[in-house]
A and B are shown apart, each in its own frame.
Chain A
Amino acid sequence: AQTVTQSQPEMSVQEAETVTLSCTYDTSESDYYLFWYKQPPSRQMILVIRQEAYKQQNATENRFSVNFQKAAKSFSLKISDSQLGDAAMYFCAYNQGAQKLVFGQGTRLTINP
């Protein structure tokens, strides 16, 4: 079964600095999708960024980018110019064909002003 591991339960960063959240996954498939979701305090979970495994180019969305290392099964999220509104739980998730997602344990990100 596929598994997703986020080894950093908590991270903190100074406002305007850059932070990287780690995620590794285990799969024997070659075609799949990876996601980072953000869950702000008391607010709905929203999609931050996604990556198709067949694409070599790393996905970017404004200040958010990923470092996708397929051979290493690693999918880290980099947040540049951190803002107070980035404070949230971040979940890495894996999707292989079927509609189900497998989630990691989550990383709580704190932004220090």
Chain B
Amino acid sequence: DVKVTQSSRYLVKRTGEKVFLECVQDMDHENMFWYRQDPGLGLRLIYFSYDVKMKEKGDIPEGYSVSREKKERFSLILESASTNQTSMYLCASTAGGRPPYEQYFGPGTRLTVT
């Protein structure tokens, strides 16, 4: 089974702090994604990566950056956390090649910025 893990289930940070959210997948997937989940808004794509050291902006990249130095690991960085970044963050991965591209999700990190 594909396993996607995230470094923390719950995280509390202060405004202005630099925050790192880590995601690791163990199935050699090419593609990795970061979403934020908010009530009534569903999942919105922040950034995704098709390969090591590659990244592309999603729908809501402002205030975020990412890093993918190794194929299995995809990090989301909040350079200066703000209260409006309080949310649930979900990581996902999917294999490349032919569709359909079923995405496999991590358990999520609930981030609170105070």
Counting CB contacts under 8 A, is A68 at the interface? no
Identity of the chain B residue whose Cβ is nearest the Cβ of A33 in the assembled complex: B100
Closest to B35 in A: A103
* Chain B residues whose C-beta falls within 8 Å of the C-beta of A44 in the assembled complex: 4, 105-108
Judged by DSSP, the binding face of A is: loop
The answer for the CA separation of A6 and B25 in the assembled complex, in Å, is 30
* Most chain A CB neighbours (cut-off 10 Å) among B40, B42, B45: B42
Cβ-closest chain A residue relative to B40: A105
- Complex CA–CA separation, A45 to B37 (angstroms): 12
Check A95–B43 contact: CB distance below 8 A. Answer: no
Q: Are B48 and A99 in contact (CB under 8 A)?
A: yes
Chain B 2-24, CB within 8 Å of chain A: the 1/0 string?
00100000000000000000000
Task: Please tell me which one of the listed residues B43, B99, B106 contacts residue A97 in the complex, with CB atoms under 8 A apart.
Answer: B99
CA distance A100 to B58 in the complex (A): 9
Query: Min CB distance, A98 to chain B, in Å?
Result: 8
Residue contact B43 to A47, C-beta cutoff 8 Å: no
